[in-house]
Amino acid sequence: MPSGSFIFDSGSRWMRVGSADRFIPMVKWDCCHVRQQIWGCDPLQGYTMTEVRNAMSVDVEDYFQVSAFERYVDRDDWDNRECRVERNVDRILELFERHQVKATFFTLGWMAQRYPQMLQRMVTAGHEIASHGWSHVRVTQQDRDAFRSDVIRTKALLEDVSGREVIGYRAASYSIGAENIWALDVLQETGHRYSSSIYPIKHDLYGMPDAPRFAFRPFNDDFFEFPVTTVKIGGKNLPCGGGGWFRLIPYQGMRWALRRVNNADGESAIFYFHPWEIDPDQPRQSGLDTKTRFRHYLNLERMESRLDRLLADFRWGRMDEVLYWPRVGDSAEPFARVG
């Protein structure tokens, strides 16, 4: 500990140290001595409530649109399916309102075209609208021209429906990686200002394990990639940013991992989930292989209560407000040309 007095302001992210009114970010001291001195816990073990604000996001697609169902559900049949997204999004909006949380809704153009009032309710509640592409086609299944057309079309519609500029994009199934990193160039060229499309893990469906774990600039400007959050244990990146992992891993383990990211790494976490994940009564798809069935339906009945705990245990905000706008113009942000 430095000599002299220190004052911790629980209402901010800053601490005054010594007699010279020198302010430092609280999170930097979280991973050193302050938590040990004030709360009496080892900063790498017993994490408590953090003051770091994290980014909450929702990927707005329905149960029949997930990539894992591509072999079982024909896109031409989507309009014949019972669409439950609107009622589930309304439940999510109520959950966020109860916890006074603002979030980013990465929304399919297909959804915005059919449920424009749903997007308007998101905007009225103060949430950010971002792009999830038109119809959940993975970027790995598109060439450069098809991808460009897809993101331009989606961005235009989302802006028309919401009345807000759309600056963010998330690829279906985190399908931007080393083999198609050109997609980030296209996003920058089409007026997007950030992407959250890279998952720095090794997975059978997606992942770029060698990518940076946290925010980086793929170009020498103010376009950013915000990878989904991982925790590094034993030299490996392990997922802790939501989705099916959040339903698989015991809540205490996920909470520990996110607090480790906040306190030991000193970084904001990015969390995501889908509206269908809070809907255990959704229609069951027949003919699924065992792995797909397990991944999709695991612990759906527990998801909403876990989200309720997560929203209470951490501070949350929109992607643009937590991650993008505070970094604009900061030349100290890391530059990493990946791929």
DSSP 4-62: S-EEE-TTSSEEEETTTTEEEEHHHHHTTTHHHHHT-S-TTTS------EEEEEEEE--
The helix (run of H) or strand (run of E) holding residue 88 is helix 85-99
In this prediction, residues 75-99 reach a mean pLDDT of 97
Taking the model in full, what pTM does it have? 0.84
Q: Residues 68-82: pLDDT tens digits?
A: 999 999 999 999 999
Mean residue pLDDT of the chain comes to 86
Reported CATH class of domain 53-327? alpha beta
Q: How confident is residue 329, by pLDDT bands cut at 50, 70 and 90?
A: confident
Q: How far apart are CA 108 and CA 170, in angstroms?
A: 10
Could you tell me if 244 and 272 are in contact, meaning their C-beta atoms sit under 8 angstroms apart?
A: no
Give the least confident one: 27-36, 85-94, 124-133: 27-36
Does residue 171 carry a pLDDT above 50? yes
DSSP symbol at 227: P
Percent of the chain whose predicted confidence (pLDDT) is above 90 = 77
> CATH 3.20.20.370 spans which residues of the chain?
53-327
Q: What is the 3-state secondary structure (H, E, C) of 106-145?
A: EECHHHHHHCHHHHHHHHHCCCEEEECCCCCCCHHHCCHH
Burial class (CB in 10 A: 0-12, 13-18, 19+), 278: buried
